[in-house]
Amino acid sequence: MTPDSVEIAKAAKEAFEISQLIPTEERVKALHSICVALQANKNEILSANADDLQAAQGEVHAGRMSESMMKRLDLSKGDKWDSMLQGVRDVAALPDPTSVVTYASELDDDLELYRVSCPIGVLLVIFESRPEVVVNIASLAIKSGNAAILKGGKESTRTAVLLSKAISEGLSQTSLPQTYIQTIQTRAEVSSLLGLDQYIDLVIPRGSNSLVRNIQNSTRIPVMGHADGLCSVYLDETADVEKAVRVVVDSKTDYPSACNAAEFLIVHESLLKSIWPVVAEALIKSRVHLQCDPSMLDTVRSLEGFDTFVQPANESSFLTEHLSLTMSVISTPSLQDAIRFINSHSSHHTDVIVTENELAASVFTRGVDSAGTFVNASSRFADGFRYGFGTEVGISTGRIHARGPVGLEGLVIYKYMLRSKANKGHTVGEFGAGKKSYKHKPIVAEAVPF
Amino acid sequence: MTPDSVEIAKAAKEAFEISQLIPTEERVKALHSICVALQANKNEILSANADDLQAAQGEVHAGRMSESMMKRLDLSKGDKWDSMLQGVRDVAALPDPTSVVTYASELDDDLELYRVSCPIGVLLVIFESRPEVVVNIASLAIKSGNAAILKGGKESTRTAVLLSKAISEGLSQTSLPQTYIQTIQTRAEVSSLLGLDQYIDLVIPRGSNSLVRNIQNSTRIPVMGHADGLCSVYLDETADVEKAVRVVVDSKTDYPSACNAAEFLIVHESLLKSIWPVVAEALIKSRVHLQCDPSMLDTVRSLEGFDTFVQPANESSFLTEHLSLTMSVISTPSLQDAIRFINSHSSHHTDVIVTENELAASVFTRGVDSAGTFVNASSRFADGFRYGFGTEVGISTGRIHARGPVGLEGLVIYKYMLRSKANKGHTVGEFGAGKKSYKHKPIVAEAVPF
């Protein structure tokens, strides 16, 4: 336990508690001030970013970093800078997720109960590589009223330090404490913080599977995120061939390294000579490598590209998140078996059925125990922006609190406020057999009236 | 890892998955069948309960069990049996917490998204002593569509085995699997199950602090519950004396061993010669022992019972959940200090302000970071029945998923169902710059239409 980490965590909790008494308008003001501070420091930040990039180039040459990782570091490319700032303004413009009354009841004359949304507390967010995530996450935390401690990848340290400085500058223009958003640099600090569940309320890892898994394995603090994105498309007996081709190809190829890209294709065995060869042909044309159930090879053997793109499945085919133009394919004798296969092999992220049968659609969407169950639509729709949340905190494959694409709503919880307006206050001793009983009369209220 | 535990956990997950395809009406039918089975086996169950009681009497004589624990075992006392059965019928009559649409949006023509509530999965519920909790929890799990594994206290094993048999009998009258609700007997099984996060989705411990803490410390599975109930009442500068007396006495004495009983009394220092002595007198009359901040002793020294009931606070006074007629008392120079004290010493369960000042009420309810923040009302109101939830799964001091008294809503999460009705299905490749954009048009729907 580094003493510094304890100080950081304490400061975050204190900043959170102080912030609870500051009007929510200040949080929106902070976001706009941060935009101003970022813009004012643009040159300095992009110059630090160039230094990070140069160092990364050295790492790439030495074979210690991938080209694609290096590219993600670059803040000056295209409209990345402007869209980072626009992102902050967009978050500022979203509806306030806090102070929303979600249940209100008159328990007795002059005794009113309100359940009202409020921030969770202190977030620890750990991510890799792309430096603009610092700004992105800081905006989400500020908008939802949570204090946050952020740790980015070491490749972008120079950039992140200056981005954080701009965030602090922005916060200093408001009554929010500057310790509301803090950044840390080392893994040792992360390890220490993961032990401080008295100060930190939620950990949000955004990055590779191994990052997420390591974190899940090393803390008692709740973790929101997903380790795997093992999504599947099932072609039902009644599948339409055009829908099958379009949905499978889009699910696999639109963005293969995304967590909502499909890794498994499950084909009803009645389709092996009809739709399966057409779908296989389209996938091969899209340069997708297929790892197939042996029973499925015969009917596609004559396709152009078979030798290059088709091979028998191996024992890891249905355990692997390929994250590339590779798809594992299996056949199934029934919808029930497909559901069972998905429930035991998918990561409960998003699974798709292609079918013309209403009952099959209904059985699949209810029987598949995943965050998203889709009918005749690409798995790639599983995304906060596409769902209409305006922004995305991440995607959760957990089963409590928030599931699937998580918007700002995933960063709030609620508290109960109870007020007696009676002359003598209220005691529970007034209720019971032979005494008063509870009214439980719904109150219509959008905000707490006190 | 006992192989039995793995089988139990697997069977529970399988039962859960099968149940997803069974109409929810079967769950209500199961509850009524369980009532019938319990009633049919009443004599046998009460006779086993008498055996448990007799064994417990031996333990009490030997000093290994408290009298009150023994009493909680008794199922034949008063209307306990009938109210246990009525409890099951009450749960059956509650609105179904599943299949509720909480967000629905048309993403594009013929592309509809529904967020719909659904069960969490497999619950592991661990409790102590009172055997009727088996029936109570089984009803809640069945009503909300979750499979459950239940472990009661070893003192009530004979009773619990027969209650479980009746539950199985009831389930066998429906299409739900009998493994939907399973019971286990040993701590070794619990330890094994706590490691099986691939099958078990939520742990709910109901019992002593040490039980809850031990479980929280030994599993990666999310835990819903509260380890401590350190609640406080703060008497603000403007407190009304009658409200102060009534609220403090009720909060402390209505049911001292409950988690929502107040343990701390915080008094604004301007009240030390006015309201504090009146409140202290009332507490002493109710036989409450006071552990006071030394500064507070002088003004109550002349009270009858001072020598017996009042003593200086010691270093553990503000760390202890007394669960008895003892209250720790401290004075504070300001509302801000009271809030700081509560945030750092309370268990974020329920805290109360007694005040006539609207602003103080507003600042306190927002600034105190607890599941319940009350104005002029007893902390004892923090309860699912009193809040109007019909029943209570437990009280949570966690900050994600569910907070405060948890009703059936706490046993559900949601999934996203997306359906394309378009002729060609839907791909994300159709959207973007120069192509279609998302509509995000709200849909009014109470249920998923497919």
Q: Which domains does chain A have, with CATH numbers?
A: 3-216 (3.40.605.10), 231-384 (3.40.309.10)
* pLDDT, average across residues B200-206: 93
In the prediction, which pLDDT does B210 show? 82
pLDDT in tens, A30-64: 999 999 999 999 999 999 999 999 999 999 999 99
Q: What is the dihedral of CA A132, A136, A138, A142, to 10 degrees?
A: 160
Residue of A nearest to B440 (CA): A388
Top residue of B112, B203, B418 to mutate, by most chain A CBs within 10 Å, is B418
Residue B444 backbone phi and psi in degrees, to 5: -95, 115
- Which residue's entry shows tokens 């309100």? A114
Residue B413: list chain A partners with CB under 8 A: 399-401, 403
In the prediction, which pLDDT does A233 show? 98
Indicate the pLDDT class of residue A218, thresholds 50, 70 and 90. confident
**Alpha-carbon gap: A387 to the closest alpha carbon of chain B (Å):** 7
Contact A387 B20 (CB under 8 A): no
Residue A216: list chain B partners with CB under 8 A: 220
Contact A202 B415 (CB under 8 A): no
Residue A372: list chain B partners with CB under 8 A: 415-418
In the prediction, which pLDDT does B2 show? 60
The answer for A 394-433 residues in CB contact with B (under 8 A) is: 398-401, 403-405, 413-422, 424-429, 431
Asked if the C-beta of A357 comes within 8 angstroms of chain B's C-beta atoms, the answer is: no
Indicate the pLDDT class of residue B61, thresholds 50, 70 and 90. very high
Distance between CA atoms of residues A336 and A332, nearest Å: 9
For the question of an ipTM over 0.90, the answer is yes
Residue A362: list chain B partners with CB under 8 A: 450
In the prediction, which pLDDT does A211 show? 84
pTM of the model as a whole? 0.94
In the prediction, which pLDDT does A220 show? 86
The answer for A 174-203 residues in CB contact with B (under 8 A) is: 201-202
Contact A417 B373 (CB under 8 A): yes
Contact B377 A16 (CB under 8 A): no
Contact A400 B403 (CB under 8 A): no
The answer for A 255-274 residues in CB contact with B (under 8 A) is: none
Pairing of strands B147-151, B181-184: parallel
Contact B428 A254 (CB under 8 A): yes
Indicate the pLDDT class of residue A66, thresholds 50, 70 and 90. confident
B3 pLDDT higher than 70: no
